[in-house]
Structure 1
Amino acid sequence: MSKRGNVWLAVAGVVRSEDGRWLVVKKKYGGLKGKWSFPAGFVEQYETVDEAVKREVLEETGVTVTVEGLIGVRSGVIKNEISDNMLIFLCRPQDDAVIFQQSELSDAAFMTKEALEDDPDTSLLIHSCINQVNLSLLKGTEPMNPGDIFGYSSYKLFF
């Protein structure tokens, strides 16, 4: 069992620039080593999922984003042991200057849809996402309190 237990929760940021380019990264490790993928990572115990995606995109690429909403869920089971789940968020960049995290990544860039479609190193998730015609967007509410009895330090809904 890993330090995350047998149920994993991760987030990915689908970041599109105003001119339609996609922010992608190449990891130095794991199953996506050498492949273009979206900036992504695990949710930490002290944060909501939308806070996690903003942190991950910033840590990996240096790009500050605004979360537009939730657009998808990836869910799988690894070797009949680990439930691996990822929430996929649409994000808007506040700038397009990429300074990638060299300890984890070999590259990061804003790329066109055509360049990603033609690159053999583009991941399945990117191919699936960039070819969606209609992305459904679940927007997050402002923080709220469902009742002091629950003890939430942060609470949001996405509709």
Structure 2
Amino acid sequence: MEKRGKVWLAVSGLVKSADGKWLVVKKRYGGLKGQWSLPAGFVEMGETVDEAVIREVKEETGIKCVVKGLIGLRTGVIKEEISDNLILFLLEPKEIGPLKHQETELFEAKFMAPFELLREKEASILLQYLLNQNEVSLKPGMDDLNPGNQFGYTAYKVFF
């Protein structure tokens, strides 16, 4: 907790293959230990949230992706103290090669059909929620806006 402070900003990516399967990972640690969930991780200093999700998916699974848009936000407070925020993106794989899961963090990574995931007892609550949505509202990203040079942004993106 010391490294992150009391405000956490994380990202997660829903990667869908051309045949509609979802990329899921089984965590080795934390509150999701032993559960299927989407690849996720913390935003690092000097990167935008969309850069972070691309990095995290590649680190955890070896899959290179492009961001299609923003799906949503999960936010909560842990033990009345830690602000825990997760931004969820829809991603498309650039190419699907062999999965190489990050062995220190994950038991496994694989593509699964949504109907298989719905029957999976070890699917995370957030994954179950997403699977039960009929339609996902997608907010595409734009990076051609300039808020003004006075701010000194080296990267500036909006998702509306």
Stretch of structure 1 that moved more, 35-44 or 144-153 = 144-153
* AA of the residue aligned to 1:24: V
TM-score by length of 1: 0.96
Aligned counterpart, 1:134: 135
Distance in 1 of aligned mates of 2:30 and 2:130 = 21
Q: Match of 1:158, as an amino acid?
A: F
Which residues of 2 match residues 78-157 of structure 1 at below 5 A?
78-97=78-97, 98-157=99-158
Question: Matches of 2:102 and 2:144 in 1, distance apart?
Answer: 30
Identical-pair percentage: 57
In structure 1, the partner of 2:55 is 55
Distance 2:144 2:38 in 1: 26
SS where residue 155 of structure 1 aligns?
coil
Q: Distance in 2 between matches of 1:143 and 1:152?
A: 13
SS of match in other structure, 1:87: strand
* Deviation for aligned residue 1:23: 0.1
Q: Distance in 2 between matches of 1:33 and 1:2?
A: 21
Number of corresponding residues: 159
Question: Unmatched 5+ residue regions in structure 1?
Answer: none
| CA displacement at 1:2 relative to structure 2 | 2.2
Task: In structure 2, list runs of 5 or more residues that go unmatched.
Answer: none
User: 2:127 and 2:158 mapped to 1: Cα distance?
Assistant: 26
Q: Give distance in 1, aligned partners of 2:10 and 2:105.
A: 16
Q: Residue 69 of structure 1 aligns to a residue in which SS?
A: strand
Of stretches 53-62 and 88-97 in structure 1, the one that deviates more from structure 2 is 88-97
Question: Relative to structure 2, which stretch is displaced further, 16-25 or 139-148?
Answer: 139-148
Aligned 1:23-34 pairs, distance under 5 A: 23-34=23-34
Greater mean alpha carbon deviation, residues 95-104 or residues 54-63: 95-104
Aligned to 2:74: 74
In 1: Cα distance, 2:84 partner to 2:2 partner:
12
Q: Which runs of 4+ in 1 moved over 4 A?
A: none
The structural deviation recorded for 1:143 is: 4.6
Distance in 1 separating the partners of 2:154 and 2:143: 13
Cα deviation, residue 148, structure 1: 1.6
Q: What is residue 38 of structure 1 aligned with on the other side?
A: 38
Superimposed CA distance per residue, residues 14-67 of structure 1 (whole angstroms, 9 cap, x where no aligned partner) = 011111100000111100011000000000111000000000000000001110
SS at match of 2:55: helix
Q: Which amino acid aligns with 1:141?
A: M
> Given residue 42 of structure 2, which amino acid in structure 1 is its aligned partner?
F
Does the Cα contact within 8 Å between 1:77 and 1:83 map onto a contact in 2?
yes
